Structure 1
Amino acid sequence: MDRLQGKVAIVTGSTSGIGVGIATLFAKEGAQVVICGRRQEKGQAIVDRIVADGGKASYHFLDVTDTDTVKKLIDDTAETYGKVDVLVNNAANVGLKDGRVDEVSLDMWDAIIESDLTGTFYATQCVLPHMQKNGGGSIINIGSSASVAGDLGSVAYACAKAGVNSLTEYTAVQYGRDNIRCNCVRPGLIVTPENDAHVPQVLKDIFLDNILVNRYGCPEDIGHLCVYLASDESAYVTGQIMDVDGGLNSHTTTVAAFRALNSRTW
């Protein structure tokens, strides 16, 4: 369990959900993990749990919509630990119900873009000089399967995450020669302790009909891929957008309906 031994990793938005899963696995693999978010009490509880399990972690306040706190997080981490090897841009405002094009207010649009796209951009911009100084690093952006194709709602969230896809590729192209890699992980439906009670069963059933394996995703499913992308094992992997969705977006749109009919075709 030493795939990340000696690495310093920041996981934004790691006081709940997917971020906790990523940070916990990072710590198990030997990384010094910086837990960050707005909720200090929850963040410190996660730090305490990681340390009790033999890992290394600390908490730092972060509001991804406040550029001062973003820069302070990264600069303080570099000063405290001497470097930043890994940045996971996970913090986001999951506006899954932001609506159709004609329903989204400009204020809502701006808030979601600021959180989900601008926050990722600025954290990346802030960490680049530290990674260049250190001779390289790995940036992992957490995207979303919502960016794969058009849908009936969530237009601002989907567009923000589509921007994260492009930002990933541009970062990989422009800083690959500095040994800085950038990849994007796009989760499908991930059921977490925080959202389980709030995800309607009908929605779970729709997703499960279209997922190719027999379960929903969990935070650790995302964390395992992030461990690989953070480690030296993925030294030749950059500019990639990877779906972790149980095969949700890998098939034609009619598969679930034909499966229900016990038929292969019409």
Structure 2
Amino acid sequence: MDRLKDKVIIITGSTSGIGIGIAKLCAKEAAKVIITGRNVERGQKVVDDIINDGGEAWFHAFDLTNRDSMHALIEDVANKYGRIDVLINNAAGMGMKDGRVDEISFDQFNAVVATDLGGTFNMIKEVLPYLLKNEKGGNIINIGSMASAGGDLGTIAYACAKAGVDKLTEYVACMYGPSGVRCNCVRPGLIVTPQNEARIPGVLKDIFLSNILGKRYGHPEDIGHLCVYLASDEAEYMNGQVLTCDGGLNTHTPTVAQFRQMAGRTW
């Protein structure tokens, strides 16, 4: 359980949901994990849980909408540990707050893009100098969304922002891969967490489950396991990749669930 031994890993938005799953699995693999978020109480609980399980963690307040907060996070972690090995960009705004083109204003669209794409860009910009000076290079993992995999009926700003994260991943890998910095993206499917389960309508769960190729929804640990691999030296040859972890939801045509109901294979 030491695949990430002594690696200093910052995980933004790690006081709930997917972020907690990533953090706890990284800690189990002997990483030094920095928990970040706006809620100090929740963040400290994650830290306590990791420490009680034998891991190492530290909480640092963080606000994805505040550039000064980003700078302070990177500077303080570098001063405390002497280096930064991995940045996992998990924090994002609530995409469900936006809607159709005719329903949201340009300012609302910009606000979502500024947070979810601009925030990821700014975090990468802040951490790059530290990753580039590491003898063994550095590693960035962006958490995207399957919302960027195709069109849908709403949340256009969120989808566009996450599509930008996909492309940002590829550009960062191209620009800094030769200098030893890897950058990959993980696009989760429907991940049910203790924080969001009560807010997901049952009919939506049914729609997703009928199209997922397995027999369950995703868990935070599913994304965490993939992040552990990408953060490890085992993934040294993985760079510039956008990996979808959705139980196979986006691997098939959109009629599969209905064909199953018909007990047929085509029209």
RMSD value, Cα: 0.7
Matches of 2:97 and 2:62 in 1, distance apart?
24
**1:71-90 matches, cutoff 5 A:** 71-90=71-90
Task: Specify the alignment match of 2:63 in structure 1.
Answer: 63
1:199 maps onto 2:200 in alignment: yes
Task: Specify the alignment match of 2:248 in structure 1.
Answer: 247
Task: Specify the alignment match of 1:17 in structure 2.
Answer: 17
Matches of 1:193 and 1:32 in 2, distance apart?
25
Matches of 2:134 and 2:249 in 1, distance apart?
38
SS in 2 for 1:182: strand
SS in 1 for 2:250: coil
**1:99-248 matches, cutoff 5 A:** 99-135=99-135, 136-248=137-249
SS in 1 for 2:98: coil
- Residue by residue over 1:60-81, the C-alpha shift from the partner in whole angstroms, topping out at 9 and shown as x without a partner, is 0000100000011011111110
Query: Structure 1: 5+ residue runs without aligned partners?
Result: none
The offset of 1:115, in angstroms, is 1.4
- Residue by residue over 1:71-112, the C-alpha shift from the partner in whole angstroms, topping out at 9 and shown as x without a partner, is 110111111101110000000012124110111122321221
Matches of 1:121 and 1:60 in 2, distance apart?
20
The offset of 1:253, in angstroms, is 1.2
The offset of 1:36, in angstroms, is 0.3
Matches of 2:168 and 2:13 in 1, distance apart?
19
TM-score by length of 1: 0.99
- Residue by residue over 1:6-53, the C-alpha shift from the partner in whole angstroms, topping out at 9 and shown as x without a partner, is 100000000000000000000000000000000011000110110010
Matches of 1:153 and 1:222 in 2, distance apart?
24
Matches of 1:181 and 1:221 in 2, distance apart?
21
Task: Specify the alignment match of 2:34 in structure 1.
Answer: 34
The offset of 1:257, in angstroms, is 0.7
Residues 97 and 153 in structure 1, CA contact (< 8 A), matched pair in contact too: no
Query: Structure 2: 5+ residue runs without aligned partners?
Result: none
SS in 2 for 1:134: coil
Matches of 1:198 and 1:146 in 2, distance apart?
18
TM-score by length of 2: 0.98
Matches of 2:72 and 2:113 in 1, distance apart?
21
Give structure 1 regions of 4+ aligned residues with deviation exceeding 2 angstroms: none
SS in 2 for 1:139: strand
Matches of 2:203 and 2:50 in 1, distance apart?
35
- Residue by residue over 1:158-196, the C-alpha shift from the partner in whole angstroms, topping out at 9 and shown as x without a partner, is 000000001000000000011100000000000000000
The residue type paired with residue 208 of structure 2 is F
Matches of 1:142 and 1:2 in 2, distance apart?
23
- Residue by residue over 1:108-145, the C-alpha shift from the partner in whole angstroms, topping out at 9 and shown as x without a partner, is 21221121101100000111000111131110000000
SS in 2 for 1:33: strand
Task: Specify the alignment match of 2:96 in structure 1.
Answer: 96
Tell which deviates more after alignment, 97-106 or 135-144: 97-106
The offset of 1:198, in angstroms, is 0.4
Matches of 2:108 and 2:139 in 1, distance apart?
31
Matches of 2:261 and 2:28 in 1, distance apart?
41
